[in-house]
C-alpha cells in the first residue's frame, strides 16, 4: 500500500495488518461484552443452536481484553494516520464497515450459543441477517473507496 500525503492506502504493511486485525477483533470483543445470559436454564434443556466452544473464565477474559486492546490500538493508529494525512479519510469508513460486520458476527455467535430456551430461534434469525449485513458492509466499503479515489484525483 502506498504512503505519503493523501495516499489512497493504509500507511504500510504493518499498519494495514493492525487496522485489519482491529476490525476483525470486534467479533470476539462483542461476544465477550455481551456475556452469557444467566437464565438459570439447565444446559440439557437449553435450545442451543449449537454448543459453544468450552473456554475457562480466564481464557474468556483474556480473549476479551486482548480483542479490546487490539481495537483501541488499531483505532488510535488509524486516526493518527488520517490526521497526519498519510491515508485518506475514507479508510475510516472502510474500517467501520468491517468492524460493524464483525460485531454482528460476534453477537450472532453469542446469541446462538446462549444456554436459554429460544436461542435456536434468535440465533437462526440473526444468521438470516448475515448475508444482508455482509452485503451492506461491502456496499459501504465500495462507496467509501469510490469517494476516496475521487478525492485523490482532485488533489
Could you tell me the pLDDT band of residue 40, with boundaries at 50, 70 and 90? low
Q: Quick count: other Cβ atoms within 10 Å of Cβ 36?
A: 12
Residue with the larger pLDDT of the pair 111 and 152: 111
- The pLDDT assigned to 147 comes to 87
Angle subtended by helix axes 90-112 and 57-83, to nearest 10? 170
Q: How far apart are CA 44 and CA 48, in angstroms?
A: 9
Consecutive H or E run containing 76:
helix 57-83
Instruction: Write the CB contacts of 101 (distance below 8 Å, at least 6 apart in sequence).
Output: 133, 134, 136, 137
Q: How far apart are CA 120 and CA 48, in angstroms?
A: 5
- The pLDDT assigned to 139 comes to 96
Percent over 90 (pLDDT), the chain: 57
Extents of the domains making up the chain: 13-154
> How much is the mean pLDDT over the chain?
87
The conformation of residue 116, written as its DSSP 8-state character, comes to S
Could you tell me the pLDDT band of residue 6, with boundaries at 50, 70 and 90? very low
The answer to whether the CB of 81 falls within 8 A of the CB of 4 is no
Residue recorded with cell 500500500: 1
Could you tell me the pLDDT band of residue 42, with boundaries at 50, 70 and 90? confident
Average pLDDT over residues 43-72: 90
Nearest 10 degrees: Cα torsion 143, 145, 148, 150 = -70
- The pLDDT assigned to 35 comes to 87
pTM of the predicted model as reported, rounded to 2 decimal places: 0.84
- Is the pLDDT confidence value at 9 over 80? no
Amino acid at each position: 500500500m502506498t504512503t505519503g500525503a493523501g495516499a489512497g492506502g493504509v500507511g504500510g504493511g504493518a499498519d494495514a495488518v493492525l487496522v485489519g486485525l482491529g476490525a476483525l477483533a470486534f467479533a470476539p470483543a462483542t461476544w465477550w461484552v455481551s456475556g452469557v445470559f444467566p437464565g438459570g436454564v439447565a444446559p440439557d434443556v437449553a435450545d442451543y443452536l449449537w454448543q459453544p466452544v468450552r473456554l475457562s473464565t480466564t481464557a474468556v477474559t483474556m480473549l476479551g481484553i486482548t480483542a479490546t486492546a487490539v481495537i483501541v490500538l488499531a483505532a488510535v493508529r488509524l486516526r493518527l494516520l488520517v490526521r497526519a494525512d498519510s491515508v485518506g479519510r475514507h479508510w475510516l469508513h472502510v474500517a467501520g464497515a468491517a468492524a460493524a460486520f464483525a460485531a454482528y458476527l460476534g453477537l450472532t455467535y453469542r446469541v446462538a450459543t446462549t444456554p436459554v430456551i429460544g436461542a435456536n430461534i434468535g440465533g437462526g434469525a440473526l444468521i438470516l441477517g448475515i448475508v444482508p449485513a455482509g452485503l451492506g458492509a461491502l456496499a459501504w466499503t465500495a462507496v467509501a473507496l469510490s469517494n476516496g479515489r475521487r478525492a485523490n484525483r482532485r488533489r
